Amino acid sequence: MAYIELRQVSKRFGDVTAVDRLDLDIAEGECVAMLGPSGCGKTTTLRMVAGFEDLDDGEIRVGGKLLSSKREKFYLPPEQRNFGMVFQAFAVWPHLSVFENVAFPLRVRKLPKTEIIARTEEALKHTNLLSAARGSPDDLSGGGKQRVALARALAIRPDVMLLDEPLSSLDPHFREEMRFEIKDLQRRFGFSILYVTHDQSEAMALSDRILIMRAGVVQQIGTPLEVYGSPANRFVFEFIGLSCFLQAGLTSSGMQIGGMNCAWPGALAPPGALVAAGTGILAARPTEIDFVGEGGVRGTVARKAYLGETIDYRVLVGDAEVRVQKTRRVPGPAIGDSCGLNFVRPQWYPAD
């Protein structure tokens, strides 16, 4: 059953439609990450859920309670929504101790002193900050400051946690560490999360489902495995993970890539509609292209780079370049070698 409900939600800024008739259900305790290029509408959506932006159309409910509705002419202010928010900027106050930073929203709500102390200490405990409670946030690392922001959001015991690029200003080590901490906190407290990020690996690691947007329109909603393995369209295929796209001339018996004629190797045959059109786009993941000694699409290795556990190959098929990635433990061709390419799970799209 849906806990957070967005129905036909739209937002316009002048002539620009930032979010166009968005429908989204989020279950209680579920984490949904919103991905997309800059300007796609994901942060605007988060701000409408938070109450920082009103809707131009549609409605938003949480736990069955109406928060915003254009039709009903209803708008609940942000301070009455009981949502925890964490932003890209750490937003900690250096003149206040770590304890007082976390306690601040509770003091604003004028809770009893004993409850403020209990809630603040609980939030600090669960974010591993109790030992730093009396110190200044300036004495903490970037990851520590972001923990303060998380603790402050937890202290109000939120119904929903809204996270807007919360880890993007951290270095890679702290970013990975904080991913696990956020997921652990979600499991412990059971709140729902709406998470905005540009980082695909972050979305894959944290979310139960991923929503991908483009120009204000949802392109696909699914589990990380679904959006990666079964992309709804070419945009999703290109946006999630590494990808290769090859323009191909098509006939009933084969294709031409980069000026090279190729027979149909294995499962590579395109849909009949593309063959009839005489052209199409062959799409593949670099990790889902294998080297074969005989057959396959023939090419020549132009470049080879070691990337730790992975070797990155650039293979020329005529004048077209194909990127292939294989584990370093699998022997592969050398620069200048002729090779065959087997496309394990190709996708076909109409030509540009």
Question: At how many degrees (to 10) do helices 142-155 and 113-126 cross?
Answer: 140
Domain spans of the chain, in order of start: 2-238, 242-349
- Residue 36 is predicted with a pLDDT of 93
Cβ within 8 Å of residue 16, ≥6 positions away = none
Measure the CA–CA gap between 223 and 219, rounded to whole angstroms. Answer: 13
In the chain, which ranges are continuous DSSP H helix? 42-50, 98-108, 113-126, 142-155, 172-189, 200-206, 224-229, 234-239, 272-277
- Please check whether the two domains, 2-238 and 242-349, share a CATH topology: no
How many whole angstroms separate alpha carbon 56 and alpha carbon 20?
A: 10
Give strand pairing partners of 85. 162
Conformational region of residue 36, where left means phi above 0, alpha means psi within -120 to 50, and beta covers everything else? left
- How far is CA 282 from each of CA 198, 243, 246, 323, 348, rounded to the nearest angstrom? 26, 10, 5, 13, 5
DSSP annotation of 265 reads: -
Give me the pLDDT at residue 112, please: 94
- Distance CA(269)–CA(252), nearest Å, equals 9
Q: Is 27 exposed, middle or buried (0-12, 13-18, 19+ CB in 10 A)?
A: middle
CA atoms of 126 and 129, how far apart (whole Å): 8
Tokens of 324: 């292939």
Q: How far apart are CA 46 and CA 60, in angstroms?
A: 11
Question: In 3D, which of 55, 58, 5, 54 has the Cα closest to residue 28?
Answer: 5
What does residue 37 show for φ and ψ, rounded to 5 degrees?
-70, 165
Angstrom CA distances, 335 to 301, 331, 342, stand at 5, 13, 18
Task: Record the pTM.
Answer: 0.87
* Whole-number pLDDT of residue 87: 84
Per the CB < 8 A criterion, the answer to whether 83 and 192 are in contact is no
Predicted confidence at residue 266, as pLDDT, reads 64
DSSP alpha helix (H) spans, 157-252:
172-189, 200-206, 224-229, 234-239
Residue 26 pairs in a beta bridge with 4
Q: What's the pLDDT at 18?
A: 96
3 state DSSP class of 142: helix
Q: Which CATH number fits domain 242-349: 3.40.50.2300, 2.40.50.140, 3.40.640.10, 3.40.50.620?
A: 2.40.50.140
Q: Compute the distance between CA of residue 300 and CA of residue 256 in angstroms, rounded to an integer.
A: 16
- List the chain pLDDT tens, one digit each, 352 residues: 789 999 999 999 999 999 999 999 999 999 999 999 989 999 999 999 999 999 999 999 999 999 999 999 999 999 899 999 888 777 888 899 999 999 999 998 999 999 999 999 999 998 889 999 999 999 988 888 888 988 999 999 999 999 998 887 777 777 888 888 888 888 888 899 999 998 888 899 899 999 999 999 999 999 999 999 999 999 999 999 899 999 999 988 888 999 888 877 666 788 889 999 999 999 999 999 999 988 889 999 999 999 999 999 999 999 999 999 999 888 889 999 999 999 998 999 998 7
Fold category of 2-238 in CATH: Rossmann fold (3.40.50)
User: 122 is written with which tokens?
Assistant: 């609980």
